[in-house]
Chain A
Amino acid sequence: MMRRQSLFLASLLSPVTIYLGIFFIGPLAIIAVFSLLEPGLYGGVVWNFYHWNYGRMFGWADGVIEYYEPIYLKILWRSMMMAMFTVIACLIFVYPVTFWVSHLSQKRQMFFMFLITLPFFTSLIVRLYAWLMILKPSGIINDALLWIGIIDQPLDMIFTRFAVVLGMVYVMIPFMFLPVYASVERLDRSLIEASSDLGARGWQTFLKVILPQTLPGIAGGSVIVFIPSVGNFVIPDVLGGAKGLMIGNLVEQQFLDARNWPFGAALSMVIMTVVLTVMLIYALKIMRAGQNVGAS
Chain B
Amino acid sequence: MQPILEIRDAVRVFKTPEGGAVRALDGVNLDVDANEFVTLLGPSGCGKTTLLRAIAGFEDLDDGQVRVDGADLRRVPAFRRPVNTVFQSYALFSHMSVARNVAYALEVAGVGKDERTRRAGELLELVGLEGMETRKPSQLSGGQKQRVALARALISQPKILLLDEPLSALDRQLRQQMQVELKNLQDEVGVSFVFVTHDQEEALTMSDRIVVMCDGRIEQTGTPREIYRKPKSRFVANFIGETNMIKVTFDGKGTATSVEGIILKVSEAAPAGRATAVLRPSDLTLSDSKNAPAHAILGKVRQEIYLGAELHYLIEADAGGEYWRVTAKDEGVGFHTGQSVALSYDPDVIHLIEGDA
Contacts and interface: CB of A to CB of B under 8 A. Distances in A.
A198 interface: yes
Contacts of B243: none
Interface size range on A against B: 20 to 34
Contacts of B95: 212-213, 215, 290-291, 293
Given A209-B93, A290-B95, A201 B108 contact: yes
Interface string A175-196: 0000000000000101101111
A155 interface: no
Interface string A274-290: 00000000000000001
B259 interface: no
Interface in B101-123: 104-105, 107-109, 113
B77 A196 contact: yes
B5 to A, nearest CB: 16
B108 A194 contact: no
B84 A197 contact: yes
A200 B78 CA distance: 9
Given A198-B153, A199-B79, A291-B96, A193 B109 contact: no
Interface string A235-253: 0000000000000000000
A9 interface: no
Q: How large is the interface on B (under 10, 10 to 19, 20 to 34, 35 or more residues)?
A: 20 to 34
Contact of B78 (A191, A193, A209, A290): A193
Contacts of B92: 194
A170 to B, nearest CB: 33
B91 interface: yes
B89 A188 contact: yes
A5 interface: no
B100 to A, nearest CB: 7
A3 B85 CA distance: 53
A208 interface: yes
B58 interface: yes
B87 A200 contact: no
A156 B130 CA distance: 66
Candidate in A190, A197, A215, A296 with the most chain B CB atoms within 10 angstroms: A197
Given A198-B152, A198-B156, A199-B156, A296 B107 contact: yes
B108 A204 contact: yes
A65 interface: no
A196 B85 CA distance: 10
A190 B108 contact: no
A219 B129 CA distance: 34
Given A196-B77, A198-B84, A198-B152, A190 B91 contact: yes
8 contacts: A190-B89, A198-B104, A199-B105, A199-B109, A213-B93, A295-B100, A295-B107, A296-B113
